[in-house]
Structure 1
Amino acid sequence: MKGFEAALPQFEALGAQVVGISTDHHLALAAWQKDQGSKQLFLSDFRRQMLPAYGAMQTDEKSPVYRYAKRAYFIIDKTGTVKFVKVMDNPLDLLDAEEVLKATKAAS
Structure 2
Amino acid sequence: MSYDHGEGKCFEMLETGIKAPLFTLPDQNGKMHSLDEYRGKKVILYFYPKDNTPGCTRQACGYTAHLPQFEEKGAVVLGISKDSVESHKRFEEKHGLKFTLLSDENLETIKAYDVWKEKKSFGKTYMGVVRTTYLIDEDGMIVKSNDKVKAAEDAEKMMEEF
Task: Output the TM-score relative to the length of structure 1.
Answer: 0.81
SS of residue matched to 1:17: strand
Aligned to 1:97: 155
- The reply on whether 1:49 has 2:108 as its aligned counterpart is yes
Aligned twin of 1:74: 134
Tell me the secondary structure at the aligned position of residue 9 of structure 1: helix
Aligned residue pairs: how many?
A: 99
Deviates most, 5-14 or 70-79: 70-79
Shift of 1:57: 1.1
Identity, in percent, stands at 30
After superposition, residues 9-88 of structure 1 pair within 5 angstroms as 9-59=68-118, 63=125, 66-88=126-148
TM-score, normalized by length of structure 2?
0.56
CA distance in 1: counterparts of 2:118 and 2:77, whole angstroms? 26
Q: What secondary structure, in the 3-state scheme, does the structure 1 residue paired with 2:160 have? A: helix
Structure 1 segments unaligned to the other structure (5+ residues): none
The Cα shift of 1:67 comes to 2.6
Instruction: Compute the displacement of 1:60 (Å).
Output: 5.4
After superposition, give the CA deviation of every residue in 1:57-96 in whole Å (9 maximum; x if it has no partner): 1135953xx43111011101122101110013xx8x3233
Q: Distance in 2 between matches of 1:96 and 1:81?
A: 20
- Partners of 1:71 and 1:26 lie apart in 2 by 19
Structure 1 consecutive aligned stretches of length 4 or more whose deviation exceeds 4 Å: none
- Aligned CA-pair RMSD: 1.8
Q: Quick one: distance in 2 between partners of 1:54 and 1:80?
A: 13
